[in-house]
Chains A and B, each alone.
Chain A
Amino acid sequence: MTPTTSDKVPAPEAIDLGALARETKIHEVLEELDRDLVGLAPVKARIRDIAALLLVDRGRRLLGLPTEPPSLHMCFTGNPGTGKTTVALRMAEILHRLGYVRKGHLVAVTRDDLVGQYIGHTAPKTREILKKAMGGVLFIDEAYYLYRPENERDYGQEAIEILLQVMENQRDDLVVILAGYKNRMDTFFQSNPGMASRIAHHIDFPDYSAEELYAIGQLMLAKMGYRLAADAEPVMREYIGRRITQPHFANARSIRNALDRARLRQASRLFAATDHVVGRDDLSNIAAADLRASRVFNT
C-alpha cells in the first residue's frame, strides 16, 4: 500500500508561455483577425493585448498566483462604415475563443430595445435584453440616444442605471460594447461619468486610407465571387481616390455600394450584349467600363 502524503503537488516554478499559447491557439485567432479585417491597427493592437493578458493569467494560475478577469466593457467610436459593428460581432467570437465569455453570442440593440414607452416599461424591457445577452456580448449602437436630458419624461436614464448596475456587478457574465460617433459619445460620457468609468477600453476607429479601401474592395469582391478585370484595377483606385473627397462618404459601406452598382452595370452589359453565351470568367469579371460609368467620374 503506497503511503499517502499530506503534501499538495507543489506549483511549478516556471511555465512556458509559448507552449501555453500553442495550446490555447491564440495565434490562430489573431492571424484570422489580421486576414479578415483590413487596417484597424488600434483595434488589433488592443485585441492582441487582451489575448496576451489571457495567456499571462493562465500562466499565473498555473503558478498559483491570484488572477482576476479584467473589465472588458468597450466603447467604439468612429465615422460610419469604419467597421464598428463588424468588429463587435467578431469581438464576441474572439472573446469566446480566448475564454473570456462563456457563450460568445452577440445581442445587438439600439435605444428602442432598452427604453420603454410608459412608466414601468423600461426596467423589464432592459432586464429581458440583459438576460438574453448574459454569457455573451451586448452591443449598444448609438448609445448616446439613451440619454435625453432635455425631455424629463424620457426613460432612458432608467435604462442607463440598470446597465451601470449590471456592468459593475456581473462583469464575468456580460461584456457591453457601446458604439457611436466620437463627439456625441464624448458628450454622453461627460454627462454620465458612471458609464465612462466602467468602460475600460475606448477604441477609436480611424477612417480607412485609399489603399485600405482598395484592399477591402478586393476582399468584398472575392467573397461575392467576383474579380476585377486587369484594366479595371487602376479605375477602381481612381474611383476610390475621387469618392473619398465627395460628401457623405461612408468608408467601407460606400465601397460596398459602389461594388453593388458595378455588379448591376455588369449585369446590364451582359444582358444587352449581342453574344449571349457567357462563361464563368465573363460572369465573374467586373470590367473597367462597369466602374467608369459612375457619376463620380463626371465631376
Chain B
Amino acid sequence: MHITQGTFSFLPDLTDAEISAQIEYALRQGWAVSVEHTDEPHPRNVYWEMWGMPMFDLNDAAGAMLEVNACRKAFPNQYVKVNAFDSTQGWESTRLSFIVNRPAHEPGFRVVRQEGPDRTVRYTIESYAVDRPAGSRY
C-alpha cells in the first residue's frame, strides 16, 4: 500500500524536476534542506536515518539534488524523504517534508491486538515489512 506520510503523499510520485522545484522553494524561504531514509514505514517512526548533514547556506537546488540522488542510488529500496527546516524564531521546526523515493513493493500494515486485564484490548498497527530484519526488508 502506498504510504501517505508527508506532504504531496496523495499525489503521484514527484518527478525530478518537481522535486527540484520544491527544494528551490524551500531554499528561497531560507529553510535548511536535509535528506533522510528508512526502511521502517510506521507512521510514528519519527527519526529516520540522516543522509549527511542538513544543508545550510545552499543557493541552488542542484546541490541538494546531488545528495538526494546519491541517497536514492545508495538505498534504492528504502523510503527517502526531503525535510526543510525553518530556524526562524517562533517556528524552529520542519516546515516541509516529502517522500522522494519508495520501495518497489510496499506490503502495508496489519492490526495487532494486545489483550489486557479485564478483557481490554490495545490496538496498534505494524508494517508487514518488519517481519524481516532491517536491511533485508524490501
Q: Which residues of A contact B (CB under 8 A)?
A: 102-103, 105, 124, 127, 130-136, 170, 173-174
Contact = CB atoms under 8 A, between A and B. Distances in A.
B57 interface: yes
Contact of A170 (B55, B59, B62, B64): B62
29 contacts: A102-B60, A102-B62, A103-B59, A103-B60, A105-B59, A124-B52, A127-B66, A130-B66, A131-B55, A131-B58, A131-B63, A131-B67, A132-B57, A132-B58, A132-B59, A132-B63, A133-B59, A134-B59, A134-B62, A134-B63, A135-B60, A135-B61, A135-B62, A136-B59, A136-B60, A170-B66, A173-B60, A173-B62, A174-B62
A103 B59 CA distance: 7
A130 B55 CA distance: 12
A105 B60 CA distance: 10
A173 B60 CA distance: 9
B138 to A, nearest CB: 28
Nearest to B57: A132
Q: Which of A105, A131, A133 has the most chain B CB atoms inside 10 A of its CB? A: A131
Contacts of B59: 103, 105, 132-136
Main secondary structure of the interface of A (DSSP, over half): loop
Interface string B55-91: 1011111111011000000000000000000000000
Contacts of A133: 59, 63
Contacts of A132: 57-59, 63
Nearest to A130: B63
Contacts of A173: 60, 62
Contacts of A174: 62
Nearest to B66: A131
Interface of B: 52, 55, 57-64, 66-67
Nearest to A135: B60
A202 B59 CA distance: 27
A130 B52 CA distance: 15
Contacts of B58: 131-132, 134
A62 to B, nearest CB: 23
Nearest to B60: A135
A272 to B, nearest CB: 49
A103 B61 CA distance: 10
Contacts of B52: 124
A133 B67 CA distance: 14
B24 to A, nearest CB: 9
Q: Which of B55, B57, B62, B64 has the most chain A CB atoms inside 10 A of its CB? A: B62
Contacts of B60: 102-103, 134-136, 173
Contacts of A103: 59-60
Nearest to B63: A131
Nearest to A170: B62
A168 B57 CA distance: 24
Contacts of B55: 131
A26 to B, nearest CB: 24
A132 B60 CA distance: 8
A173 B61 CA distance: 9
Q: Which of B55, B57, B63 has the most chain A CB atoms inside 10 A of its CB? A: B63
B22 to A, nearest CB: 16
A102 B58 CA distance: 13
Contacts of B63: 130-135
A135 B63 CA distance: 8
A242 B66 CA distance: 54
A177 to B, nearest CB: 16
Nearest to B55: A131
Nearest to A105: B59
Contacts of A135: 59-63
Nearest to A129: B63
Contacts of B62: 102, 134-135, 170, 173-174
Contacts of B57: 132
Q: Which of B52, B59, B61, B66 has the most chain A CB atoms inside 10 A of its CB? A: B59
Q: Which of B55, B60, B64, B66 has the most chain A CB atoms inside 10 A of its CB? A: B60
